[in-house]
Structure 1
Amino acid sequence: MFPVPHPNPAARSVSPLSRKSLIAAALSLLLGACAQQQAQAPDQAPPQEPQQATPQENVAPVPAVANETAVRAFPIDTFYTLLVAEVAGNREQYDVALANYFHQAERTQDAGVAARATRIARFLNARRAALRSARLWAELEPEDPEAQLAATAELTLAGDLATALVHAKKALALGGDAPLQSLAATAVSNRELTEQMMPEFRRLAEKYPTNGEVVLAYAMMLRASEQYPQALALVRRVQEQHPRLLDAPLLETHLLVDMDKRQEAIHLLEKLVSIYPQESRLRLQYARLLIREDLALAQQQFAELVKQNPRDGNLILSLALIRYETDHIDEAKPLFERLLTLEQHQSAAHFYLAGIAEKEKDIPTAVAHYRKVEPGNDYVEAITRGTELLAVSGQSDDNRAWFVELRQRHPQQEEHFYLMEAELLRKNDLHQQALKLVDQALEKHSDSGRLIYTQALLNDKLGNGAAFEQGMRKLLERDPDNATILNALGYKLIDDESRHDEALQLISKALELRPDDAAIIDSMGWIQYRLGNHNEAVKYLQEALEKLPDHEIAAHLGEVLWVQGNREKAMEVWQQGMKNNPQSTIIPAAMKRLQINESLEQHASDN
């Protein structure tokens, strides 16, 4: 019989068995199962089965059992189906083994077969099959604590916590164990469920006060409901009763953090790690808490964890990220490369290896890694950075091909990738190419508001004011209360003196819709200035600058103050604006337009 470990096997290696030992093992299982069937139905006469073997297997008839109790044999097809399952398992064809055992468990209603099916399904992480066979096993053997334990575990994973708790109680009543901490961990993800199940956990903790699993599960529920002192008292009681049950001090550290006693938690973990240096859970919690307190020491702990668990991708990634963020690039790089070898966290590894290549000025390698990042947290950032690198190095054809590939690969996100490519072209001052691309995109996505808006802005940049206004009007027809569009069009119309009243109307409506938007307040200040209402303009512009210290707002406010004659204050505003944005061209342009010869540096030195 091929070995099937209980729920969490370290590996799936199976020792080969000879045909003779395989058949003997299978017969042992099946005879035991038959005896169990007979015990459950003593008055049922055993059916007559043909005494023959298939020529292919040349199996001898099952010898008579020297027992006064008659044993009812399985039907011959059931026998051989299970034998085939054992052969399949021995050959590591686990899916065949599971299918045969699962089918026969439901067909024969035999507890032994159901138990075997459950163990195989749990070994293979086949959750649906494990749940059905575990429930069948628990039903067929209601007095078996292991059956109740398996049913509890599978029902918990399936999210049926109420039924799982029923089986957990049976397991405890039979003197067995029950994974109540797992059940509690699932329950606490939902506050309503926590409150609903809390009384049951409390009753169990009162009934089994020395059962560490039960009491810790109740403590977890108390923690979820923020009853920290009560939970801590229970956890410390469990530690006194079961000093080697490390779940208790681990939960205590979480509670101490909850109670803002972070240093106390760190000291406790430091002590525990020194006592149990091989306990990865303790060291991992210790390392996580140290990240905010002592990054160097945290790095040491993660390094030790990786040493103890050299194939654990989560630990390797954690250590690699710490080393990357602390600029220990030479130590981080081989860790990311190890992740690629292990085929774990490959997208993250490619993303950070690309970043390392960027720092090393190795653009081709950086781009190659960015292109291997798969959809997920870093996907858009990888595309953005990779295409920017290609643009800077003048590889526009490669960029174009990349975006074509992306649109083909993600047809539902085609519009988004058109916009990304257009933005990249705009950033590199390729406005005409960007507009051509957006025009092409609108042929496929004519109703896209984002594309129409981008098209309008590009037309504005290229000096085509009529096309800009046409695009904005089209958007306002669809959404007349869009404050962003109202403000954009109103601000543009300020440049045309004959349309100031229209601009004021648009901006006023936008401000009514979003009274706290600094950009719209700036527009209102600027139109008031152009209308000659200088005091009103200063009021709005000062408010806008307080909300958003933007250099364009500073340019506007400084100009109004200068025109009012408050030139000292104007220079201060411009100077601060340049300090916030040293690359600004708007403030120097405003000063040039006003024919101001005094430099900001000279003004700063004079004051």
Structure 2
Amino acid sequence: MPPAIPARFSRLLSHKSLLAAAICALLGACAQQSAREETLPEPQPQPVAPAEEKADARPFPIETFYTLLVAEVAGNREQYDVALANYYYQAERTKDPGVAARATHIARFLNARRAALRSAQLWVELEPEEVEAQLAATAELALAGELDTALAHAEKALDLGGDAPLQSLAAAAVADEKVEERTLAEFRRLAEKYPQNGEAALAHAMMLRAQEQYPQALSIVHRVQEQHPEMLDAPLLETHLLVDQNRREEALQLLENLVRTYPQESRLRLQYARLLIRKDLDLAQQQFAELVAQRPYDGNMILSLALIRFETDSLTQAKPLFERLLKLDQHQSAAHFYLGSIAEREKDVDGAIAHYRAVEPGGDYVEAITRGTQLLATAGLAGNNRDWFAELRRRHPEQAEHFYLLEAELLNKHKRHQQALELLDKALEQHRESGRLIYAHAVTSSHLGNSAAYESGLRKLLERDPDNPTLLNALGYKLTEDDTRLDEAQQLIARALQLRPEDPAIIDSMGWVQYRLGNHSDAVKYLREAMEKLPDHEIAAHLGEVLWVQGDREQAVQVWQRGLEINPQSKVIPAAMKRLRDKGGVEQHVSES
């Protein structure tokens, strides 16, 4: 059963006492204002107000009474939407502050924001001297982004002798730079108006912190600590201000003392644990373990501790924490993702895949699919991958194009280019105008040696976007393979370089086409520039080859050696060496170096 809400619903009533008890429940909250008279088709018995009510309180019309009675019964049966609809309607109709109050409470409990805002505004209009009404209006207006009006109601609550969540309002203000600038003076005014109110002072300090006025903010925080030593928000804000000023060690020392003094204050321990993550993971882990002990059902704390243990390779300790999240139905996708990772490390392929498949769309979704499908591919279960991707496309048709691309990429990675091409053919039947699919199809065709299909695909994309430097460079570089089209290749690459002159990949292409045209000096110039901007084994392969052909073989070997250090698994450098093998013993020179 959901937790109780403010102004609890009346208890279920027996049929013998239903009418009298319902009157007590309803009119006890609502009889402060007389309802307007209504003419009914025929005389109806009027409910009598309870004896404890004021003598001048008049009962609701019978239609209103029965509507509210239905709302009460619906509430007891957990049909809260029915209860809200009835109370909201009658609040608007009767203009009764008690009905408006109850409508507000129910709407807020259900997170029905529009209804909560309108009910709260009606309630505060009908009962402006009621602190709770002012605070309800403050909260709902803040959630609706109407911070200026929310501040006005907060001030009224303070004037009435109540408290007001000014720190929460300040937090909302600093989240928007324009609102922050607009309301800074108002928070300063409230702090000056209520000089003994620690909440108002800390809200002002929060605004000053957002303005990077750290000394002024710290001064206010210290004053609040003197006036209200019980307000732990003050030292907590001080730690944030210290960190802002790169005084992290002071912040840690302050938090260590605070945690020692107030061991049950989770907010202090959480801030301490967060700061420790960057300095001492073991100590941070201890703090999060204590937080989990204090708040055993808090999924955020459990996940934080689990992630630290995962990152420190304490997998046997991390695993039960992730499993606890599954039982609590909190952070389900994250738990499944990391349990999949643990199972993968434990060589439990079936367990890993089961967890990866349970990850829902979100931050780890694509990574989970990638890992799971790679596991299946490595295990030789390509059919399972087809089924998985087909299922994903059925479950998420709006992302079908993306899943086609993922599946094709996986197939290409495992050298199943023909299957990838057939898949992309199918995908293009459904998504004919997809630029990503057309490009993937072109690249896959190139893997199969079909240069014409590759060129056709890129030409189609260039028709749509003729000034796309990536496409121009890709096509130009491909054409360098054909001695009869080198001039055309140079024109395409030159256009790409004009559009993006600092791109090392395009600079490398220009160097390579100059080499293919026989312009070795220009080639070296471009390739050196590309290598300086982006140390890369493919660029090293090109530069080394040109230097070798120029006769600068010692430097060529050095460049190749550097390329192999960057990527020991490089295939392009050995390929370049193979082409030049008969012209100078390239492999021997490299191995001797």
TM-score tier (shorter): over 0.9
Cross-structure match for 2:32: 36
Instruction: Give the distance between the partners of 2:468 and 2:403, measured in 1 at CA.
Output: 24
The aligned amino acid for 2:329 is E
Report deviation, 1:448. Answer: 2.1
The aligned amino acid for 1:120 is I
Counterparts of 1:4-43 in structure 2, within 5 Å, are 5-6=5-6, 26-33=22-29, 35-37=31-33
Contact 1:127–1:154 under 8 Å retained in 2: yes
Cross-structure match for 1:58: none
What SS does structure 1 have at the residue aligned with 2:32? helix
Instruction: Give the distance between the partners of 2:426 and 2:49, measured in 1 at CA.
Output: 81
Contact 2:409–2:420 under 8 Å retained in 1: yes
Quick one: structure 1 residues 340 and 600, their matched pair in 2 at CA, closer, same or farther if it must change by over 3 Å? farther
Which deviates more, 324-333 or 553-562?
553-562
Cross-structure match for 2:588: 599
Q: Give per-residue Cα distances to partners, 1:221-249, cap 9 Å, x unaligned.
A: 11122211111111221111111111111
Cross-structure match for 2:373: 387
Q: Give per-residue Cα distances to partners, 1:354-388, cap 9 Å, x unaligned.
A: 10110011111111111111111111111111111
The match for 1:422 among 408, 417, 438 is 408
Contact 2:557–2:590 under 8 Å retained in 1: no
Quick one: structure 1 residues 385 and 45, their matched pair in 2 at CA, closer, same or farther if it must change by over 3 Å? closer
Cross-structure match for 2:429: 443
The match for 2:126 among 125, 140, 152 is 140
Contact 1:145–1:174 under 8 Å retained in 2: yes
Q: Give per-residue Cα distances to partners, 1:132-187, cap 9 Å, x unaligned.
A: 22211111111222221221112112211122122112111111122212211111
Report deviation, 1:24. Answer: 6.4
Q: Does residue 272 of structure 2 align to residue 276 of structure 1?
A: no
Instruction: Give the distance between the partners of 2:192 and 2:269, measured in 1 at CA.
Output: 32
Report deviation, 1:476. Answer: 2.3
Q: Does residue 377 of structure 2 align to residue 377 of structure 1?
A: no
Cross-structure match for 1:295: 281
Instruction: Give the distance between the partners of 1:421 and 1:328, measured in 2 at CA.
Output: 33
Instruction: Give the distance between the partners of 2:591 and 2:148, measured in 1 at CA.
Output: 77
Contact 1:571–1:603 under 8 Å retained in 2: no
Q: Give per-residue Cα distances to partners, 1:3-56, cap 9 Å, x unaligned.
A: 95449xxxx999777778886664445444565225xx9xx9999996748xxx
Instruction: Give the distance between the partners of 1:493 and 1:418, measured in 2 at CA.
Output: 28
Cross-structure match for 2:145: 159
Instruction: Give the distance between the partners of 1:357 and 1:21, measured in 2 at CA.
Output: 61
State the TM-score, normalizing by the size of structure 1. 0.91
Counterparts of 1:103-118 in structure 2, within 5 Å, are 103-118=89-104
The aligned amino acid for 2:419 is Q
Contact 2:31–2:53 under 8 Å retained in 1: no
Contact 1:134–1:150 under 8 Å retained in 2: yes
Overall identity of the aligned pairs, in %: 71
Cross-structure match for 1:551: 537
What SS does structure 1 have at the residue aligned with 2:570? coil
What SS does structure 1 have at the residue aligned with 2:33? helix
Contact 1:81–1:100 under 8 Å retained in 2: yes
Q: Does residue 201 of structure 2 align to residue 215 of structure 1?
A: yes
The aligned amino acid for 2:487 is D
Report deviation, 1:453. Answer: 1.9
Q: Give per-residue Cα distances to partners, 1:543-592, cap 9 Å, x unaligned.
A: 11111222121111111111222111111111111111111122122112
Instruction: Give the distance between the partners of 1:126 and 1:219, measured in 2 at CA.
Output: 32
Q: Does residue 406 of structure 2 align to residue 410 of structure 1?
A: no
Contact 1:181–1:220 under 8 Å retained in 2: yes
Report deviation, 1:287. Answer: 0.8
State the TM-score, normalizing by the size of structure 2. 0.93
The aligned amino acid for 1:119 is H
Which deviates more, 425-434 or 496-505?
496-505
Which deviates more, 121-130 or 379-388?
121-130
Report deviation, 1:598. Answer: 4.3
Contact 2:577–2:587 under 8 Å retained in 1: no
Cross-structure match for 1:88: 74
Gaps of 5+ in 2: none
Report deviation, 1:464. Answer: 1.9
Q: Does residue 453 of structure 2 align to residue 467 of structure 1?
A: yes
Instruction: Give the distance between the partners of 1:159 and 1:570, measured in 2 at CA.
Output: 64
Instruction: Give the distance between the partners of 1:549 and 1:37, measured in 2 at CA.
Output: 80
Quick one: structure 1 residues 238 and 170, their matched pair in 2 at CA, closer, same or farther if it must change by over 3 Å? same
Which deviates more, 453-462 or 265-274?
453-462
The aligned amino acid for 2:237 is L
Instruction: Give the distance between the partners of 2:289 and 2:369, measured in 1 at CA.
Output: 31
Instruction: Give the distance between the partners of 2:83 and 2:211, measured in 1 at CA.
Output: 45
The aligned amino acid for 1:115 is A
Quick one: structure 1 residues 553 and 335, their matched pair in 2 at CA, closer, same or farther if it must change by over 3 Å? same
Quick one: structure 1 residues 101 and 450, their matched pair in 2 at CA, closer, same or farther if it must change by over 3 Å? closer
Cross-structure match for 2:548: 562
The aligned amino acid for 1:397 is G
Cross-structure match for 2:292: 306
The aligned amino acid for 1:204 is L
Report deviation, 1:104. Answer: 2.3
The aligned amino acid for 1:244 is E
Q: Give per-residue Cα distances to partners, 1:286-310, cap 9 Å, x unaligned.
A: 1111111111111111111111111
Q: Does residue 239 of structure 2 align to residue 250 of structure 1?
A: no
Instruction: Give the distance between the partners of 1:412 and 1:34, measured in 2 at CA.
Output: 50
Cross-structure match for 1:498: 484
Q: Give per-residue Cα distances to partners, 1:396-450, cap 9 Å, x unaligned.
A: 1111111112222222222222111111111001111111211222222222222
Cross-structure match for 2:339: 353
Contact 1:34–1:71 under 8 Å retained in 2: no
Q: Does residue 442 of structure 2 align to residue 456 of structure 1?
A: yes
Quick one: structure 1 residues 409 and 572, their matched pair in 2 at CA, closer, same or farther if it must change by over 3 Å? same
The aligned amino acid for 1:578 is L
Cross-structure match for 2:166: 180
Instruction: Give the distance between the partners of 2:10 and 2:565, measured in 1 at CA.
Output: 70
Quick one: structure 1 residues 556 and 101, their matched pair in 2 at CA, closer, same or farther if it must change by over 3 Å? same
What SS does structure 2 have at the residue aligned with 1:37? coil
Contact 1:370–1:386 under 8 Å retained in 2: yes
Report deviation, 1:123. Answer: 3.0
Contact 1:4–1:120 under 8 Å retained in 2: no
The aligned amino acid for 1:178 is A
Cross-structure match for 2:469: 483
The aligned amino acid for 1:427 is K
Contact 2:299–2:325 under 8 Å retained in 1: yes
Instruction: Give the distance between the partners of 2:210 and 2:288, measured in 1 at CA.
Output: 28
The aligned amino acid for 2:405 is L
The aligned amino acid for 1:513 is L
Which deviates more, 157-166 or 111-120?
111-120
What SS does structure 1 have at the residue aligned with 2:196? coil
Contact 1:3–1:14 under 8 Å retained in 2: no
Quick one: structure 1 residues 248 and 525, their matched pair in 2 at CA, closer, same or farther if it must change by over 3 Å? same
